[in-house]
Each structure stands twice: as C-alpha cells, then as structure tokens.
Chain A
Amino acid sequence: MVMMPKPDPDVLAKRDYLITRLKEIVRNPEGVIDQEAGLRAFECDGLSAYRQLPMIAVLPETKQEISEILKFCAAEGVNVVPRGAGTSLSGGALPLADGVLLGLGKFNRILEVDYDNRCAVVQPGVTNLAITDAVKSDGFYYAPDPSSQIACTIGGNIAENSGGVHCLKYGLTTNNVLGVEMVTMDGDIIQLGGKHLDAEGYDLMGVVTGSEGLLGVITEVTVRLLKSPQFVTAQLIGFPSSEQAGDCVGKIIGAGIIPAGMEMMDKYAIHAAEEFCHAGYPLDVEALLIVELDGPEVEIAHNNSVIEAVAKACGATVIRQSTSDEERMTFWAGRKAAFPAVGRISPDYMCMDGTIPRSQLPTVLKRMNELSAHYGLRVANVFHAGDGNLHPLILFDANVPGELEKCEQFGADILKLCVEVGGVLTGEHGVGVEKRDLMGEMFSEDDLKQQQRLKCAFDPDGRLNPGKVFPILHRCAELGKMHVHNGELPFPDIPRF
C-alpha cells in the first residue's frame, strides 16, 4: 500500500478552532461537516482500497467562500483536498487525516449555453452527462464521455483530463475545454481562457487540466459543444487472435478512417460481458472489436464497406453491423458493462489503466498472460484500441490474506511493462495515490523535480492535495536552487560550431 504523508499533530490539535472559523466562513450552517457519520461519506473515492476520514469536510456554495477557505487554510498551514463526485479511480480525492476535504457538489449549475459560440459555461459540480443532456434537444453534445459520465463532474474531468471511448476522434477533456475559472491556494480567483481560442501567454489552462487538483480549485468551466452527428452505427468484428484484431485496427486507420470509437475486448472479457448482459457477442473468438462510425449516412456506408474489406483481409471470422440504434446500444452494452460483468465473476477486481503503442499489443498480452500465471491471478482485458489505452482487470479476493498485495504487485508489473514498451503509466485514470510510487519508472528525478517546480509556481507551500502524484515531496526553496558543483557552475569546454 502507498503511504500517505504523516498527519501534522499541530494541525490536528487545533481542529476545534478550525471548525469554528470555517463555520464563520461558510454561510450554510450545514456546510461544515465535523461528525464522523457525515465525514464517512467522503472517506474514499472510486479507488476504495484506500480509505481515510478527512479531518473536516467543507461544502462551500460560492467562489468567494472557496477563496476565503483557501486563504484561511493557507494561513493556518492546513492541507486541502478538492473533491467532485469522488469517482476517481486512482485515489485523487482520497482525504487526508489532517486535511480539509473541499466538496464542490453544490456547484451544480449550468450557467450559460451559448450556441453562437458553441460553448457552455458550467459550474464544476455539474456532471459530465448533464452538459450533454442540457443541449441535446438542440442537437449538440459535449464530446468527452468517460464511462462514469453519469456521476463524474466536469471539475473532476478537468482535474483528471478525462477521456472516454470517443477520444481518438474527438480528443480528451484538454482538447474540449475553452476556459476555466479557478481559485489559487492564495485565494485569488483567476480566469484562464474563455470563449476564445488559445492562450495569450503560457497555456496555464493546459497545465491545470490533468493536474489532479494540485494547482488550484476549479470554480467554472467553459466547454466546447459539438453538433451531434447525423447517424451513428457500430460494427462487431471477431477475430481468432488478438494479433489479427490489433492488425485490423492499424489497417483501418491506415485506410484513412478515424472511427468515433474503436474498442477491443479479449476472450475473458467477452465471455464475462456476454454472460452478464447478453449483448449477442460471438463466444468462439479470441478478440472482439466494436467499431463505431458517425457522420452522414453516405460516409458511414462508404467507411463501413472499407472496414469490412479490411477486417476480412485481417482474418475476421465474425462481422456484424448494427441495423438500428437499439442494436448499436446492445453492442455497447456489453462493453460498457465489462467492469461490473467481471465484478460478478470475482469477489474483487482491480482496474488498471496503461497506454501502449498499439503495435506492442501482442507482446504486452503475451507478457501479461505470463504474469497472470506467475501471480496466480486471472486478468481480463478491455482496450481503447484506437488510442492504445489498455484496461486490464485483475481478478482477486481481498478476503484471502495477501491477495490484495499480490494484485497490486501484478498491477505494478503491468504498468512497468507498458512503460518498457514505450507507453505510459496512466492513459486516463490519473496517477493519484495508486500510481504515485511508480512515477520513477517513467520520469527521471530531474523531470519529477521540474514538474514539482510547476506546482511551486501555483502552490509554494504544497497545501493542495499533497501525497498525490509525486512520490517525494520536495520543498520549493530546495527545488529553486540551481545545481552547483564545488561552489561553481559547471564550466565545460566552450563549444564552437
């Protein structure tokens, strides 16, 4: 298990004082939670293997309150953990024993829908799906669609730079956000971006997106709205091997087609999903692709015929095209239920999230099978095939002593493997607590320090969400120093070219 920073006894000692003062700042008398029963609701996020009661939970209702809370916490030396809906799969919203949990659930209003500029201004606690729901009757939608979209909030999406099944064509959160308003740890409220494009100086919005709540607290988000496509269809394509499926994905893209979504499931995931929701998946294949296309009908017909030819040439044994929206939704139902489906056949499972160069898929699957045998734990794979984002689900039983640790070790080995083949530790779930101690696999000490210098520019005392993302927390003063040898700057031979 990853260790969290040791609670500060001085902060714990003044808990009553902090509660009194926070109750003065937050107008709503129920906005400060200090009783265990109430705090229990915040003890974990989607990574439920890690639990911790926060010292105090605060639910502000205005950005001015957030500003005052942060200013107060900064002055008192108290850490703050921001939280949206708490759906993080990496422990990004895991509370701290000596920290204030800042819940943004009350910021749940859509402030403006602006079709002239094809954007919406929303508060951070609005759920991802609620944005699309608000505009779909006018034929618009918000593109990023993480699988938790019914519950996860747009503020959390900014923190994690959330993806979804449609990223290959439509991008991640970072590519679909025009502006954010945020409060810094000093209590300053700043606007980054807006309804226009591109940053005027450094792209601070770009680095805030995906910063896992370490740089500021988001209070408003301007998202890009897209017109809903005219038609959407899906194809199910089954293959006798995952190599052939992987090959087919490359060839579809090679043919100049960027599908709206392109998902792959391995045999284990196919069977679990089929048993769970009877999507009509073929059970005699080793790998299954779901390829979704959107656009005008003529384009879909054209691209579907290209894809069919490519799939056949790659050895597909099953090709089935959805003939109605209902059938398309059935195709997806199995994939979308893959996690609970796997959950049903195993007491516990852990969902991993690495990205690999797609050509490495056969190697990675083979090595993963070897690891599975080594650890004696089964693994099912679902894969955002278009962009190489792999979600191995490791099956285990937390009631068996040592199995959770074994599972974590297996998971770490998978992620190290992803990095080894040229990929990354996390494609969309974030580093959080879960992958924090693996950061050294991907970054040198100097690179990690350089990232933390960015943190220092926003939050020099490290009050926002400490213990997440970075394995070792350096003090900013120490990070600011130039490295100096023998009291002098390095003085090599002067190069002349």
Chain B
Amino acid sequence: MEKFDITAAAQVEEVLNWALANKQSLEVVGGGSKSDLGHEMQTGGRLSLKGLTGIDLYEPAELVMQAKAGTRLVDIEAHLAEHNQQLAFNPPDFGPLLGKEAGLSTLGGVFACNLSGSSRIKAGAARDHLLGVNGFTGRGQAFHTGSRVMKNVTGYDLCKLIAGSYGTLAVCTDFTFKVLPKPEKMRTILIYGQEANAAVLTLRDAMSSVHEVTATAYLPANIARKAGIDFVSDQDAAVTAVLIDGAAPSVEFRNTALREMFADSGAIEELHGMRSNAFWSFVANAGAFVADQSTAVWRLSVPPSEAAAYLFRLQQQLTELEYYLDWAGGLIWLSVPASIKDAGAEIIRSELKDKGHATLIRAAADIRNAVPVFQPQNPVVQKISEKIREGFDPQRILNPGRMYPVA
C-alpha cells in the first residue's frame, strides 16, 4: 500500500490524481484516533493529513478561527484558552475508548465525524459551528464551501454535508469555525441515588427550567464507580448531573435555584472547576468503557423522553449490558459483552422502532464487517445519499465502504 504523508494542501490534489489515474482508493486519516470507527476498508493508498497543521486565522473578537485539518484538537483548544475562548460543542476524544492514546484527535477528524460532547444539547453539534471548508473532492477538484462569517445562506450549506461524512465526500484541508467565550465559572450539580426513570424526568425538568443548563447526564452506580473522581466514584450511588456555566454571579444564582428545585430528588453535591471538567470529559469520552477494551460500544441518539423505556426493553433482552445517559437522556452509551453475537445490533436497532439511530463505535473488526456500523437508512434516503456521494467522488476513491457498503 502506498502511504502519502502530506504537509501542504496542494499535495492532496496530486495524491488524488495519482489515485484516479491508478484506479486506487485511499484511506484518509488524521491523527488516527478514530481509524477503527467505521467499517474496515481495503484501499490502495493511505493519505495522512497529520502533517498538515497550523492555525491560519484567529480573530477572537469575531469569534472565528481557521485551521488546517491535521491540527491537533488539544493545540486548538490550548490556543483558544489563551484568549478565554473554546469550542462550545466540547468535542470528545475517542482515542482511549478505541484503544489509542489520548490527544491524537485532529480538527479534521472532529468535523469528519461530527462529534460533539455533552454541551451539544445547548451549544449545538460540531456541524453547527462549522462555517467554511476548503479541500478537494474525489474528482481531484478544488472544493470550497461556506465562508468565515456566521451568517451565510449563499448556495447550499455543504458544510452540513461534510460534517459527519467520515471523509467519504472530500479530503478537507482546512476548516473555518465558530468559537465562543469560555465561561467564567462552571458548576456541576450532582443528585445521588436516582433510578433511570426518575433521572430522565430530573434531566427533563432541568432542561425545561429557565436556568440555561449546558449539559445533563445520568450515570448508574456501576458507571459512576469507574469515574475516578471524588464525589462521583466514591458514593456507591447513581449520579444525575446538571452542568451550568457562565458569568460568576449568574452561576451562583442558578446553582442555588437548581439545588432548591431538586432538593427532594436526592442527596445533592457540587463539583467545581477541575473536577467538573474531569466529570464531563469522562462522560463525553465514554471513559467508563476504556478499561475493558473487549466489549462492543454503541452510541445511540433517541428522543430524550424515550430513553428510560427503551433501556428497560433492552435490558430484558441484553441482561449484561452497561449503559449511561448524556444529552438529557437523548444520548445513550451502551457497552455489550464480546460474547453477544452481532454485538446486540438486531435488538438494539429494532427496539429503537425508527425513533433515533445507533452507531457501533467500538467492536472487533470481524463484528464490524458483519454488522452495519451506521444505522441502516430508509431506501430513498440511502439512494439520495449514494447519489450525493457519487457527485463528489464518482470513482469511489475516498474511504470506500467506511460508512456504508460499496454498491
């Protein structure tokens, strides 16, 4: 297999032309933290964007940054932090979950997979913060969409299509995205000992309050125990968590109000600063499923109010599964023992009853080859998606089969 480690955007065009001329397909990678997410591929070449790094534009007062695809997320976040800013969608780092080291994740990988952390319910997803993209399509043609301004309805919003396309449409060389002020203060309110049913209602009430909640999660006791965070792992109890952030006086006020609101829901504790950050990283990165790499891990998006009933149905059939909830119940993380055939795919997906979708984030290669990693689509949607892909990459040279099988 040919390996191309490029360091300049123009080289991407050369590699694509090589692939087209030689009828070879390419695996497109960044830091490699998520290279095992998706179906296994057989490609003639490997195009690494890891060496394509650097921040090209950053204007804090305009809340905008442009950086090259291979720039590491940790570097972007550190740079933003110097100006008291952040990526408000708090992108997770799936490296450790997928058996890799932490910190490999690149900007390109984050947008290619449209990955967002716990604040997604308030701040929006990665795709909501993506303003512009430069790159090359599978036709080997330069490709540009969007801009550097927040408000832009000129032509189709292809940024939305690129986000979450897992590198199957274009090789993106740089991204322009929205950044936001880092909150001055954060508080995580913990309520101990709730059952899933009650917790989902608590999360709903928190989200429906006037207190501008940023994130909400529920960890059953067996998951909380693995967090390695004081007040979370040492309580031997399930933890319902509500994050608020913002200006200090505002956080103080909302903190008090929410504690009063949930005074009867269970014993209450608070996490500040570092512990609060550690807690939400643990939640977003699926930290609970890192130590035991043998299990299959699913990430499901469902209507929040359906979460508890869905889990109940699932637990009747998959007794050994572990789970926890993010996004007010709308994001379910599942860990299924390796012994279960098809990683539980059939049950997990059929019980969704078309409300939501399930992605197999981690599983052994043979399972990923046998089970659709991404939710199977309605045939009409699938047909349109396939035609879109064909429009971008007619020879199917970019990450072929990573999302859906090559037709």
Q: Does A472 belong to the interface (CB within 8 Å)? A: no
Please tell me if the beta carbons of B208 and A161 are within 8 angstroms of each other in the complex: no
- In the complex, A451 Cα to B170 Cα: how many Å? 13
Do A202 and B385 form a contact, CB below 8 Å, given A194-B303, A229-B210?
yes
Main secondary structure of the interface of A (DSSP, over half): loop
With A163-B151, A190-B381, A201-B404 as known contacts, state yes or no: A359 contacts B59, CB within 8 Å: yes
Is A355 a contact partner of B151 (Cβ separation < 8 A)? yes
Produce 1/0 per residue, B63-81, CB < 8 A to A. Answer: 1100000000000000000
Q: How many A-B residue pairs have CB under 8 A?
A: 300
Task: Tell me if B391 and A457 are in contact (CB < 8 A).
Answer: yes
In the bound complex, what is the Cα–Cα distance between A448 and B184 (angstroms)? Answer: 43
CA distance A481 to B152 in the complex (A): 30
Give, as a whole number of angstroms, the nearest-CB distance from A178 to chain B. Answer: 9
- Within 8 Å by CB of A296, from B60, B253, B380, lies B253
- Pairwise interchain contact B152-A446, C-beta atoms closer than 8 A: no
> Beyond A201-B403, A358-B61, is A492–B247 a contact (Cβ under 8 Å)?
no
Residue contact A480 to B391, C-beta cutoff 8 Å: yes
Within A451-474, which residues are at the interface with B (CB < 8 Å)?
A: 451, 453-458, 469
The verdict on B84 contacting chain A, using a C-beta distance below 8 Å, is yes
Q: Does B321 count as interface, using CB distance less than 8 angstroms?
A: no
Are A495 and B160 closer than 8 Å at their CB atoms? no
Q: Is the CB of A161 within 8 A of B149?
A: no
Contact in complex: A451, B155 (CB < 8 Å): yes
B403 contact set on A, CB distance < 8 A: 201
Which of B120, B137, B304, B331 is close to A117, meaning CB atoms less than 8 Å apart?
Answer: B304
* A residues in contact with B384, CB < 8 Å: 184, 190, 204, 457-458
Bound together, the chains give a CA A418 to CA B250 distance in angstroms of: 38
Please judge, given known A-B contacts A117-B304, A174-B160, A192-B381, whether A167 and B151 are in contact too, CB under 8 Å.
Answer: yes
Give the bracket for the number of chain A residues in contact with chain B. 35 or more
CA distance A192 to B385 in the complex (A): 12
- Once A190-B378, A206-B160, A431-B154 are accepted as A-B contacts, the answer to whether A198 and B114 lie under 8 Å apart by CB is yes
Q: Is the CB of A431 within 8 A of B209?
A: no
Q: Tell me whether A203 and B114 are in contact in the complex, defined as CB-CB below 8 angstroms, given that A196-B301, A422-B147 are known contacts.
A: yes
**What A residues does B331 contact at CB under 8 A?**
197
> Do B305 and A116 touch (CB < 8 A)?
yes
Contact of A427 among B151, B207, B382 (CB under 8 A): B151
A497 with B6: CB separation less than 8 A: yes
Interface-lining segment among B219-227, B233-241, B260-268, B351-359:
B351-359
- Cα(A171)–Cα(B123), bound, Å: 9
Would you give the shortest CB distance from B133 to chain A, in whole angstroms? Answer: 11
A447: CB under 8 A from chain B? Answer: yes
A349 to chain B, nearest CB (A): 21
The smallest C-beta distance from A127 to any residue of chain B, in angstroms, reads 20
Residues of A within 8 A of B56 (CB): none
Min distance, Cβ B82 to any Cβ of chain A, angstroms: 13
The answer, yes or no, to whether A299 is at the interface (CB within 8 Å) is yes
| Complex interface bits, A215-226 against B, C-beta within 8 A gives 1, otherwise 0 | 000000000000
- Quick one: closest B residue to A448, CB to CB? B155
Q: Does A14 contact B (CB under 8 A)?
A: no
A263 at the interface (CB under 8 A from B): no
Quick one: closest A residue to B208, CB to CB? A227
**Chain A residues, CB < 8 A from B160:** 174, 203, 205-207, 209
Stretch at the interface among B7-15, B272-280, B285-293: B7-15
Task: Let me know if A207 and B209 touch, CB within 8 A.
Answer: no
A to B CB contacts below 8 Å, 30 in the list: A115-B208, A167-B150, A171-B124, A197-B125, A198-B125, A206-B127, A227-B208, A227-B210, A229-B212, A250-B61, A250-B62, A256-B181, A258-B181, A296-B210, A389-B151, A423-B147, A426-B152, A426-B153, A431-B153, A442-B155, A444-B142, A446-B143, A448-B155, A482-B20, A490-B17, A490-B140, A491-B17, A495-B6, A495-B14, A496-B2
Q: What 4 pairs across the A-B complex have the smallest Cβ distances?
A: A206-B160, A453-B391, A299-B250, A250-B61
Give 9 A-B pairs besides A197-B330, A200-B375, A450-B391 with Cβ atoms closer than 8 angstroms: A118-B207, A118-B208, A198-B125, A201-B403, A253-B181, A256-B84, A355-B147, A442-B155, A451-B155
